[in-house]
Structure 1
Amino acid sequence: MENNSPQHVSVRSYVYDKLKNDIMKLIYKPGQRITENVVSDHLNVSRTPVREAFLKLSEERLIEVYPQRGTYVSLINKKLVEESVFIRENLELAIVKLALRQFDEYYMSMMEKNLAKQKEYVDSPEYVQLFDLDQEFHEILFAGVDKFYSWSIIENSMVNYNRIRMLSLISSVNWQLLINQHEEICNAIKENDEEKGIAVMKDHLSRLTIDIEKIEEKFPDYF
């Protein structure tokens, strides 16, 4: 009988979220072998929630299970990356239009606090923190127009893209430009300036199109 007690579900969710996040942030690298024993020891949990997480991640094509060979983190799928960018570009342009009409002071305050944190980290080498703050900024945008499920669609579809993005961040990225664009988006919403908001968001999202070929050339074993 399946164990669906709150404690088990909580552990199962924790293990799944932790593994998925670690795959996205390249703690587990594309092509790397992972085992239930090592993960369960590392997370101090039993093998059952790890096995369940492996199954779910396999269904999402984030890990590959090869009989007699073992379990490996999936290589980056360029086709899935392209589709992820397509989904995000179309959803976020629609969201910024809604934000111009629906954003309230609570979410604007959250966005401004997020921007302040981004500025604190801009000159530091802590690209993971900046990555997290960037994700949070866009999540606030969706939350402010009550589109939580739409954000979950983006999160679930962007893991392959985010792995490429992390590789790009390791190499180089103009964070000051991205933060400036975040600030312009915030100002456009405050000023209810639709033309400016759409224009800035389009330019901002165009930077999602990373030169995949250059990344692949630099990290050929990850594709």
Structure 2
Amino acid sequence: MSIPRFAARRPPRRRASAKEFVYNTLRHSILHLHLKPGTKMSEQEISEEFKVSRTPVREVFVHLHQDGLVEIYPQRGTYVSLINLESMEEGRWVREIVETAVVEEAAGRLSDDHIRELEYNLAAQEQCCQNQDYLRMLALDDEFHAAIFRACGKQLTYDMVKQLNLDFYRVRVLRLSHDSNWEQILRQHQAVFQALREGKAQEARKIMTDHLRMIMVEEDELLAQYPGYFVQASRVGTAKGWSL
């Protein structure tokens, strides 16, 4: 196994401990599918790549396992976790319940700073759509939603919801290789922002609900194209689809 040197928009920075840098880099690489589901991770190669001893690498593996991003098998090794559709859908469901409540609370409460932040974000999203820069669009999508949580003092809630949606995030990255209607996503973001600025709480809630349920993807489509990336359906239930 080799650690890919990926071109990240906002790569982890070596400004903390070596262990934290290794953790952040590997986590980013797993979430963005540079380390694909099922990939075996070599403790020795990682320690050589990052010029650290094997002890912090083992500690990083434990942390990533706690995140649900790797599986550790005694005598076999450490592997990037397969995507679990059942846990992914549960995380998405939690996100919908929480985020629709948050936008309802945020309606009419946007400060001038929050308005400027969201306007700048939407302008950047529009530019990404024009340039077909969908990786950057994905990052801006996350930043847009995070800004709404911050607008009503719910940053901690956002962080918890985000942690529950790591498999959901990997599927979103995987979907970048398919046709995605990013222009429609942008229009929905703009509509959410308009409703929030005008204090229309119920309208904002409805648009956000529609937004989070917008794209229904049949399970068989991605399972057929990437069969090695997912926990087998017989082990996770019989869900037929999910939304992005």
Q: State the 1:110 CA deviation.
A: 0.8
CA contact (8 A) 1:142 1:151 kept: yes
Q: Does 1:144 align with 2:151?
A: yes
One-letter amino acid of the counterpart of residue 23, structure 2: Y
1:124 pairs with one of 120, 127, 131:
131
Give 1:71's aligned residue.
Answer: 78
Q: Residues of 1 paired with 2:113 and 2:17: CA distance?
A: 29
One-letter amino acid of the counterpart of residue 87, structure 2: L
Q: Residues of 1 paired with 2:118 and 2:19: CA distance?
A: 31
One-letter amino acid of the counterpart of residue 156, structure 1: Q
CA contact (8 A) 1:97 1:194 kept: yes
2:197 pairs with one of 171, 190, 199:
190
Q: Residues of 2 paired with 1:46 and 1:186: CA distance?
A: 48
Structural RMSD (CA): 1.9
2:105 pairs with one of 98, 101, 109:
98
Any gaps of 5 or more consecutive residues in structure 1?
A: 1-6
1:179 pairs with one of 170, 183, 186:
186
Q: Does 1:23 align with 2:30?
A: yes
Q: Residues of 2 paired with 1:99 and 1:88: CA distance?
A: 16
Pairs aligned (count): 217
CA shift digits 1:16-75 (9 cap, x unpaired): 222222111101100001122322333444433322211011122210112222111011
Q: Residues of 1 paired with 2:107 and 2:218: CA distance?
A: 31
Give 1:159's aligned residue.
Answer: 166
Shift in alpha-carbon separation, 1:8–1:176, aligned structure 2, 3 A: closer
Q: State the 1:191 CA deviation.
A: 1.0
Q: State the 1:107 CA deviation.
A: 1.3
CA shift digits 1:131-159 (9 cap, x unpaired): 11111111111111111111111111111
Any gaps of 5 or more consecutive residues in structure 2?
A: 1-13, 231-244
Q: Residues of 1 paired with 2:142 and 2:152: CA distance?
A: 16
